[in-house]
Structure 1
Amino acid sequence: MTQPAPAPRADLPRGPLLGFAAGSLGMGVWVTVPGLLLLYFLTDVLAVAPWLAGLALLAPKVVDVLVHPWVGHRSDAESARRGDRRRLLLAGCALPAAFAALFAVPGGLTGVGAAAWVAAWFVAGNLLFAAYQVPYLATPADLRIGYHERTRLMAFRMVVLTAGILASGLLAPLLTGGDAATRGGYQRMGLLLGGGALAAMLVGVAGIGRLRRAAGTTAQRHAPGGWRALAAALRDGQFRWLVAAYLAMSTTTHLVLAGVPYYAEYELGRPALTTVLVAAFVAPALLVTPGWLAVARRAGKQRALLVAQGAFAAGSLVLAVGAPAGLPVLVAAVTVLGVAFAGMQLLPFAMMPDVVRAAGTTGAGTYTGVWTATEATGAALGPYAYAVCLTAGGFVASTGGQVIDQPDAAGAAIRYGFGLLPAALMLAAVLLQRRYTLDGAARAAG
C-alpha cells in the first residue's frame, strides 16, 4: 500500500532560513555593482563610446540566454542522480574572481580594447553566476513546503539580498574613489567586494544543505533532455506570462540602477548623491519586506505585485521632472521606487515555485534556468536602453578626471531615460502580469 506523501512543512527553523539567505548576500554584489557602475566605468573612466559600452554589456547576455536553461537541466540531472545540487553551487563560488577581473582593466587599455576586456570577463562572470544562481533558486521548488512558506523563505532571502545590494551599492562608489574615481580605485573595489562575496556564497552552500535536511525534499527522477525540458517549460502558459512580466520588471530596475550615477552627476550636479539615491532605492526593502509578506498573505502574491508595479511607475514619472522638483521630492520618489522594488524582488520569486509545483514537473532547475536567463536579459537590456538614450542625446564619453560640457540634448536624455522610460516599461509589466491567472489556484492548494 502506498504511503501518503508527508504534509508540507509550514514552520521552517530560522537558522536554516538564514543560512540559505546568506548566499544572496554574495550574489547581491554581482547583481548590483556591474549594473550600477559598469556603464559609467566604461564611458567616464575608460573613454568607451556609449553605443559600444552598451553593446559590451548586452552581448555577453546572449550567452546567458543559451546557457542558463542548460545549467538548469544539468542541475536537475545532478539532483536526480546525487540528491542535491551542491557541485554546481561550489563551481559558482569562483564568481568573485571574475568580478575582481572585470574591474582590473590593464592600464594601457581604453576604448575598444577596454570594452573587449570588460565584455570577456562579463561573459565569464555570467557563466559562473548561472552555476550558482540556478541551483540556488531551484531550492524552494525542491522543498516540501506550501504556498505561504515559499513566500516566507523568499522573504528571508529578500532581506539578506537587500543587505548585500545596499552594502555593495554604497561601498562600491566609495571604494572607487568617489568623485575622484580611478582605475586603481575600481581594482581595489573589485578585490574587496569580491572577497566578501566569496565568504557569503560559501555560507549559502552550507545553508542550503541544512535547509534541505530541515524541510525534506520532493521525490526526484531524472528530468527529460535539455531541449525537451526547455520546450515543456516554454509551453506552460502561466510561466510564459510570469516570465514576460518579469523581463519588463528586470529591464526597468536595471535601467534605473545604470542611470543613477548619470542622474546624480549631470541632472543634480553632485556625483556624491549616487550613494544617497542608491540608499533610497535599496534600503526600504530592509523595512518593508515584512509588509509585502503580510500583503501577499492577505491579498495574494499577484495583487500585491500589481500594487508594487503601479507604485514604481508613479515614482518614475516624478523623476522625469528632474532638478526643478527639488532634491527632497526626488529622493522621496526614489524611496517610493525602493518600496516597490522590494515587492518586485520578493513576489515574482515566490510565484515562480508555485508555477513549477502546479505544473507537476521535476524540472525545477530548467524552469529556474529560463527564469534566470530572463533576469540576466533584463540586466543587460536595462543598461543598454539607457546607453541608447545617452547616444541619442549626443552624450560625450571621457576618461577619469576629464571635465566635459555635455550638450543640452544629453541632459534631457539623462533625465527622461531615468524617468519616462522606466514608467513606460513598468506599465508594460502591469499589462503582462494581468494575464497570469494561477495565483488563486496556487493559494487554494496551499
Structure 2
Amino acid sequence: MSGPDQQTAALPRGPLLGFAAGSLGMGVWVTVPGLLLLYFLTDVLAVTPWLAGLALLLPKVADVLLHPWIGHRCDVEQARRGDRRRLLLLGCVLPVAFAALFAVPGGLTGAPAAAWVAVAFVAGNLLFAAYQVPYLATPADLRIGYDERTRLMAFRMVVLTLGILVSGLLAPLLTGGDTATRGGYQRMGVLLAVGMLAAMLVGVAGIARLRRSAAAPAAGHTGGWRALAAALRDRQFRWLVAAYLAMSTTTHLVLAGVPYYAEYELGRPGLTTVLVAAFVAPALLVTPGWLVVARRFGKQRALLAAQGAFAVGALVLAVGRPAGLPVLIAAVAVLGVAFAGMQLLPFSMVPDVIRAGTGAAGTYTGVWTATEATGAALGPWAYALCLAAGGFVASAAGESVVQPDSALAAIRWGFGLLPAAAMLVALLLQRRYTLDGAARAADRPVGAAH
C-alpha cells in the first residue's frame, strides 16, 4: 500500500481536463455500437437475431486474451521507456475501424453483412484496447491517494458521460432517425470518427502532462504471465472483476434494448434519443454527488447503493406501457443516476487494488478492460437471445413487419426483468470485496485534505 510520503497534493485542473478528454472519443466507441449495432444488423441489414448476437459476441471473445496481452505490453513499455505513449498513439487509429463498422457495402445483407461487421468489430476492439488499457493505467502510475484517485476518475466520468450523451443523441439522428438508411449509417460513422480522433489525441497530451506533474517511481517489473497470475490470485481484484462483469453486462444489455423498447413497446422509434438522454444525462449532474458520497461513506457502500437503485429502476421498466411514459422515463433516469456511480466508483477502486497489490498496473488494467469488453458483448448477446426466444422477425431498411406477441413480451422482459436480476447478482458479488475500508484508512490523512 502506498504511504503518505508517496502521494502528492491535488492534481492541477488543466492536465486533468486533458486526460479526461480522451474519454470523449472512447465514449463514442462504448456507446454507438452498443446502442445501434444490434438494431443495425436486424432491422437494416436483415440479419437474424441469433446470428446478429453471435456477430457481436465472437469478436469480443478475443478480447479476453487480447486485453491482458496488451496490458503486458503496456507494462513492458512503461519499464523500458518510462511511459505508455506508443500504445496510446496506436489506439488513435480506432476511428478508422469505427467508420468501417457501419460502412457495409451496398450489396451485402444477411450473413455476409454480419461477417463484415464482425471483422471490423475485431479490428476496432483491438485498437480500443491499445488506447484504453494504458489510459486506465494512468491513475496507478501517479503519486496520489484514495480520494484523489476518485477525483481523477470523476473528471473522466463527466467527460465520458458527455461523449456518451452527445454520441447517443447524435448517432440516431445522423442515421436518418425514423427513416434510417444504410447511407445514413455510413455518414454517421464518418462524422463521429472525426470527433473521436481529435478527442483521443488531446487525451494523449493530457496524460503526458499528468505524468510530468505527479508520476510515481517506476515499479521495476514488466508484467507477463507471472504478473497476470498474481492479478488473478488477488482475491479483492477477483471479486471486484466478477461484480463489474455483471454490471457491464447489465448496462450494455439495457443499451442494446433501447431502440427496440422505444419502437415496439412505446410505439415511437424517435423516443430512442429521449431514453438515451434520460439514461446518460443524469451523470453530468450527479457525478459530483457520487464523489461526495464516496468521500463520506466510502466507495464500496456508494457502489452497493448504485447497484440497488439500478435494480429497482429496471423492475419499473418491466411493467412497460401501462406504467405511463413519464414514469418509464423517470425509471430510465434512475438507471442513469445509478449508471454514473457504477462508472465512477469501480474504475476508481481498481487503482486502490493495484497499489495494494503487486503494482503491475498494465496487467491489472488489461484484465479489467477485458472484463468490460466481455460484458459489452454479453449484454447485446443476452438481449438478442431474448428476441430470438420470443420469435422476433428481422427486416431490412424500409420494410414493415408485424411482430408476434411473444416477441413484444421478450422485448419488455429483456429490458426490465433480466437487467434487474443481473444487477442483483452484481450486488451480491460486490459485497465480497473488502479492501475499501483499509484503502480508505491508509490514505485518509492525505485524502482528507482534498
Q: TM-score normalised to the size of structure 1? A: 0.98
CA distance in 1 between partners of 2:36 and 2:405 (Å)? 23
8 Å CA contact 2:75, 2:221 repeated in 1: yes
Shift of 1:6: 4.5
- Per-residue deviation, residues 335-357 of structure 1 (Å, max 9, x unmatched): 00000000000000000000000
Does structure 2 conserve the Cα–Cα contact (< 8 Å) formed by 1:250 and 1:375? yes
State how far apart, in whole Å, the 2-side matches of 1:253 and 1:62 are. Answer: 18
Give, in whole Å, the separation in 1 of the partners of 2:215 and 2:227.
24
Aligned-pair CA distance for 1:217: 2.0
Letter paired with 2:284? L
Corresponding residue of 2:308: 310
What SS does structure 2 have at the residue aligned with 1:320?
helix
1:15 aligns with 2:17: no
Q: 1:418 aligns with which of 408, 415, 419?
A: 415
Pair 1:409-2:377 in alignment: no
Q: Is the Cα–Cα contact under 8 Å of residues 6 and 216 in structure 2 kept in the other structure?
A: no
Q: SS of the counterpart of 2:399?
A: coil
Aligned letter for 1:422? P
Which of 363, 368, 377 pairs up with 2:365? 368
User: Match of 2:84?
Assistant: 85
Matching residue of 2:446: none
Q: C-alpha separation between the residues in 1 aligned to 2:234 and 2:6? A: 26
**Runs of 4+ off more than 4 Å:** none
Query: How many angstroms apart in 2 are the aligned matches of 1:380 and 1:418?
Result: 16
1:295 correspondence with 2:287: no
Residues 158 and 69 (structure 1), Cα distance of their counterparts in 2 relative to 1, 3 Å cut: same
Measured against aligned partners, the alpha-carbon deviations of 1:33-66 in whole angstroms (never above 9, x if no partner) come to 0000000000000000000000000000111001
Q: Which residue of 2 aligns with 1:391?
A: 388
Q: CA deviation at 1:215?
A: 1.4
Asked if the contact 1:23/1:203 (under 8 Å) is kept, the reply is yes
SS of 1:310's partner is helix
By how many angstroms is 1:219 displaced?
Answer: 2.4
> Is the 2:283–2:336 contact (alpha carbons within 8 Å) kept by the matching residues of 1?
yes
Q: Structure 2 length normalisation: TM-score?
A: 0.97
For residue 208 of structure 1, what is the aligned residue in structure 2? 207
In structure 2, the partner of 1:54 is 53
Residue by residue over 1:92-113, the C-alpha shift from the partner in whole angstroms, topping out at 9 and shown as x without a partner, is 0000000000000000000000
Contact 2:82/2:218 (<8 A) preserved: no
Q: Which moved more, 1:229-238 or 1:290-299?
A: 229-238
Distance in 1 between residues matched to 2:41 and 2:294, nearest whole Å = 40
* Equivalence for 2:424: 427
Alpha-carbon offset, residue 214 of structure 1: 1.3
Partner of 1:170: 169
Alpha-carbon distance between aligned partners in 2 of 1:26 and 1:292, rounded to the nearest angstrom: 23
Residues 129-149 of structure 1 show CA distances to partners (whole Å, capped at 9, x for unaligned) of: 000000000000010000000
Q: Distance in 2 between matches of 1:158 and 1:51?
A: 33
**Shift of the alpha carbon at 1:187?**
0.2
Cα distance in 1 between the residues matched to 2:303 and 2:360: 25
CA distance in 2, matches of 1:122, 1:8: 40
Alignment of 1:100-119 (within 5 A): 100-119=99-118
Deviation at 1:230, TM superposition (A): 1.2
Letter in 2 for 1:73: H
How many residue pairs get matched? Answer: 441
Q: 2:267 aligns with which of 261, 266, 269?
A: 269
Give me the whole-angstrom Cα distance separating, in 2, the residues matched to 1:80 and 1:182. 48
Task: Please state if 1:123 is matched with 2:110.
Answer: no
Q: CA deviation at 1:152?
A: 0.1
Letter of the aligned partner of 1:441 in structure 2?
A: A
Q: Measure the CA separation in 2 of the matches of 1:418 and 1:183.
A: 26
Q: CA deviation at 1:423?
A: 0.2
- Residues 76 and 362, structure 1, Cα contact 8 Å, conserved in 2: no
Counterpart contact for 1:81–1:222, Cα < 8 Å: no
SS for the counterpart of 1:26 is: helix
Aligned to 1:65: 64
Counterpart Cα distance in 2 of 1:25 and 1:442: 29
Contact 1:151 1:293 in 2 (8 A): yes
SS at match of 2:25: helix
Counterpart CA distance in 2 for 1:203 and 1:43 is 36
Separation in structure 1 between the aligned mates of residue 391 and residue 220 of structure 2, nearest angstrom: 56
The answer as to 2:428 corresponding to 1:441 is: no
Matched residue SS, 1:328:
helix
Structure 1 residue 221, shift from structure 2 partner: 1.0
Residue 228 of structure 1: CA displacement? 1.7
Unaligned runs of 5+ in 2: 444-450
- 1:218 CA drift (Å): 3.0
In structure 1, the residue matched to 2:317 is: 319
The equivalent of 1:377 in structure 2 is: 374
CA distance in 1, matches of 2:69, 2:381: 25
1:234 paired residue number? 232
Aligned partner of 1:351 among 346, 349, 352:
349
Counterpart pick for 2:397 among 383, 396, 400: 400
CA contact (8 A) 1:223 1:362 kept: no
SS of the counterpart of 2:416? helix
Deviation at 1:5, TM superposition (A): 8.5
Could you tell me how far apart the structure 1 residues matched to 2:61 and 2:217 are? 33
The answer as to whether partners of 2:395 and 2:401 remain within 8 angstroms in 1 is yes
Q: Say whether residues 1:255 and 2:253 are aligned partners.
A: yes
What's 2:143 paired with? 144
Quote the offset at 1:7 in angstroms. 3.8
Letter of the 2:429 partner, please give it: L
RMSD between aligned alpha carbons?
Answer: 0.9
